[in-house]
Every structure is written in structure tokens, then in C-alpha cells.
């Protein structure tokens, strides 16, 4: 792991050049036009599986195919996720203090699609960190879409842990479809797949661009880029722990970012040594090595204040404070998907069992976006039931503003109420 200059913190935009966009446009258009036949064609071509039907025939059997230890871990994670997200406020309200009745009503979305990647590793944690939230929000139909994998033919071409997680979290259906074709099928529907109203969940560049193309037909949670972690550490930090946290992030894929910001050169050198030592016993060492060669490294700063300022400007998905007094820096940090405070709040716990969803804004979008939450699975409806006296009292202001905008029919509708308070 190299010591780098501050150019390491320059953002790379989502790679939406024509080389990536063209095939995604073609796939989305084909699914929209030809439905199941196009979906079958792409599933055979990309996933090397030919299916007669997309829904998994027995999604609840996943719990019978995993070990008791894995089942217990999934339940523990699911329980903490539910406990955390049930604390998120979703309170409808009404008031008569403003004349008549005004209020807001929360209601769950009717049908959502959750995309679960199936690339280099199965991700049952992603199932838990999405589906659980939708269930807590009260969504009646929660559809998991995940690529079929020929390695798991015995479990219906889906990894048993993904099936188990879907069952525990409360998914109502598991579809064996992946890639851009899955996003298009969820958005537009096919002869056998009903469309959803919103799609959430991470994916590769093709999945991300497909979500971008179908936005407006359906809602989306955001455009997920490669995962990223920034660790701010002082001289008192444990270099072995810091190295382990960076290695954990770097093993996701070669486009991940794992960055250490520290004013301590001795710590930086100790972390380098620990990375070299620990990587030798890791299964995904080749991925980690390439990740470190691309967009990861160590940046030496003048002091902790500069490290905090650089991190806040970078707006990472995960920001870990491995410093003596992490809470003292929280007021200076506004832009991060998640703040992990202290060396015992390491990011891997956030990936699995801490409580908040691990689906967090990437690519600097933490400047304006938030982690996935129950709010992503509900609609907020404004309630307006004014009485006649209030309508007559406030209508003159509406009439004036309508004339300013040149909308005389709007002004006339207001004027009718000004005269008598009646239609």
C-alpha cells in the first residue's frame, strides 16, 4: 500500500461513456419490446443458465441448505437491522391550527424490486440490508432479483444463503434474473413479471447505468459506484486493526477505494508493514493488490484537522475515525454515508450486524444523499382540507401570485372564493 499525494482524493466520475451505455440501452430496449423472450436470451448469454420461469420455485428452502451457524448469524443481523430501522420516525399527522385540516400521510410503496449482485461473491447481507427495511416500512410486495448461477443448480441456481436471507428478511418473491436485463424487467415488466414502482440495491456499472435509464419510469435509491472507505487515524491507532480494515474494503473489487489519512508517518509505515504481512493469508489477495494499485493508498496530512477537512470534502461512503477522541470531530464532519466512531466501531460490523443499512451513498453523493432507510420505501402525501373561511382569507394572495405568473385561470379560480367563500 503506497503513500500517495492528495490527488488520490480526486473523484472518478461514473464511467457512462458510450462503450458502456450502448449495450445497456440495447438491453433495456429489448426487454421493453420483447419481454420474456429477450430476458431468456440475455440470461442464457450472460449467466449461462436457461430457465423456463424466473421466480424461484421454493425460496424458503434456503434455510434448510445452510449451516445452523450461518442461519444464526443471518438472524442476528436481521434482528439488529429491524430494531434499528423501527426507530426511524414515520409519523403521519394532521392539524386544524391553520384553518380546516392540513397534514401529511405516510404510506408504503406497493411493490419494490431489490437487486442483489451475484458477481464475485454471494451477498446475503445485501438482502438483509434492503428487504428488512422494506418490510418494516410495510411494503406488501418485495421482489428480490439476483443473477442465476450454474454453480448452484441444486438450490435452484441461487446461493442458499441468499435464499435464506430473503426468507428471513421477508421477501415475497425471488427472481432469478440479473444485470441490466433484470433492472429493465423490474421497471417495465414482462409477460410473467409484474413491474415494480421502485428499484433499490447496488450493482456493477451495467446495473447502475440501467437504473439511470429507467429512472422516471420507476424510482431508484441512487446510482451506486464502487465501494469506498476512508480511515482517519492518529498515532495511537492500532496499525494491525487499521490495516485489517483497509484490506477488508479493498477485497470487494478492483475499483474499490481504501484510503488512510493520518498525520503520523510512523503509523503510516506500520500500516504498510501490516498490510504486507496480512495480505499473504487472504483468499482475495490478487483483487486487493490490484485495488491498492488503482485508487487506494495512504495520504499524510499536517494534522488531524486537515485529515478531517480532506475527508469531509471527499464525502466517502464510510468514514472511520480511529482516533483518541472521535466524538470531538463529529461536528466538523457533514459529508459521509456513515461515521464509524472509534476502533471498536469498525466498518465490517456496519457491513453486517451493526444496525444501519450498508447501502450508502458513494462517489461523493454523500454530499446530498443518505443511506438507505425506511423512508426509501414510503410515499409522503400532503393532506389539504381547508374550511371556507380560511380559503376566502388566503385566496387573495393566491390571486396576486397567479397574476404575477400570468396564469389568469388560476387567478379566476381564487377570485371566486374571495367573493363569497363558495364555489
For residues 60 and 162, the answer to whether their CB atoms sit within 8 Å is no
| 246 class by beta-carbon count within 10 Å (0-12 exposed, 13-18 middle, 19+ buried) | buried
Catalytic residue among 85, 129, 159, 318: 318
For residues 77 and 354, give the distance between their C-alpha atoms in angstroms, rounded to a whole number: 8
Is residue 76 within 8 Å of 354, Cβ to Cβ? no
Q: Are 53 and 205 in contact (CB under 8 A)?
A: no
Closest listed residue to residue 132, CA positions, set 156, 30, 54, 124: 124
Distance of CA 239 to the CA centre of its chain: 30
CA–CA gap between residue 366 and residue 339 (Å, rounded): 11
318 is catalytic: yes
User: Active-site residue 274, yes or no?
Assistant: no
**Is beta strand 228-233 parallel, antiparallel or unpaired with respect to 318-322?**
parallel
Nearest to 147 by CA among 213, 201, 221: 201
C-alpha cell at 239: 496499525
In the set 317, 343, 347, 399, the catalytic residue is 317
Active site residues: 317-318
Amino acid at each position: 500500500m503506497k503513500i500517495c499525494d492528495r490527488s488520490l482524493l480526486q473523484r472518478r466520475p461514473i464511467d457512462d461513456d458510450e462503450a458502456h451505455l450502448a449495450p445497456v440501452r440495447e438491453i433495456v430496449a429489448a426487454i421493453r419490446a420483447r419481454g420474456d423472450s429477450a430476458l431468456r436470451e440475455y440470461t442464457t448469454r450472460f449467466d449461462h443458465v436457461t430457465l423456463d420461469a424466473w421466480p424461484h420455485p421454493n425460496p424458503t428452502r434456503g434455510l434448510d441448505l445452510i449451516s445452523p451457524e450461518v442461519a444464526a448469524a443471518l438472524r442476528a443481523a436481521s434482528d439488529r437491522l429491524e430494531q434499528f430501522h423501527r426507530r426511524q420516525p414515520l409519523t403521519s399527522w394532521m392539524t386544524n391550527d391553520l384553518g380546516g385540516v392540513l397534514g401529511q400521510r405516510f404510506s408504503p410503496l406497493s411493490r419494490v424490486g431489490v437487486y442483489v449482485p451475484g458477481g464475485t461473491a454471494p451477498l446475503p447481507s445485501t438482502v438483509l440490508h434492503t428487504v428488512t427495511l422494506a418490510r418494516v416500512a410495510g411494503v406488501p410486495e418485495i421482489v428480490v432479483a439476483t443473477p442465476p448461477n450454474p454453480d448452484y443448480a441444486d438450490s435452484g441456481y441461487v446461493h442458499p444463503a441468499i435464499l435464506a436471507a430473503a426468507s428471513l428478511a421477508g421477501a415475497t418473491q425471488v427472481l432469478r434474473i440479473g444485470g441490466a436485463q433484470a433492472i429493465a424487467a423490474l421497471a417495465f415488466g414482462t409477460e410473467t413479471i409484474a413491474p415494480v414502482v421502485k428499484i433499490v440495491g447496488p450493482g456493477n456499472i451495467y446495473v447502475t447505468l440501467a437504473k439511470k435509464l429507467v429512472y422516471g419510469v420507476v424510482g431508484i435509491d441512487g446510482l451506486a459506484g464502487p465501494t469506498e472507505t476512508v480511515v482517519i487515524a492518529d498515532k495511537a491507532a492500532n496499525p494491525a486493526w487499521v490495516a485489517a480494515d483497509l484490506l477488508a474494503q479493498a477485497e470487494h473489487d478492483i475499483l474499490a477505494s481504501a484510503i488512510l489519512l493520518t498525520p503520523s508517518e510512523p503509523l503510516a509505515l506500520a500500516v504498510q508493514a501490516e498490510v504486507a504481512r496480512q495480505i499473504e493469508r487472504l483468499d482475495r489477495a490478487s483483487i486487493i493488490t490490484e485495488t491498492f494499485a488503482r485508487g487506494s493508498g495512504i495520504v499524510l496530512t499536517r494534522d488531524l484537522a486537515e485529515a478531517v477537512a480532506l475527508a469531509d470534502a471527499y464525502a466517502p461512503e464510510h468514514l472511520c475515525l480511529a482516533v483518541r477522541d472521535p466524538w470531538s470531530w463529529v461536528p466538523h464532519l457533514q459529508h459521509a454515508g456513515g461515521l464509524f466512531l472509534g476502533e471498536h466501531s469498525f466498518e465490517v460490523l456496519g457491513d453486517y450486524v451493526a444496525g444501519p443499512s450498508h447501502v450508502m451513498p458513494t462517489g461523493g453523493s454523500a454530499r446530498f444523499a443518505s443511506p438507505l432507510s425506511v423512508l426509501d420505501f414510503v410515499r409522503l402525501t400532503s393532506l389539504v382540507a381547508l374550511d371556507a373561511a380560511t380559503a376566502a382569507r388566503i385566496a387573495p394572495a393566491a390571486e396576486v401570485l397567479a397574476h404575477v405568473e400570468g396564469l389568469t385561470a388560476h387567478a379566476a379560480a381564487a377570485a371566486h372564493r374571495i367573493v363569497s367563500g363558495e364555489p
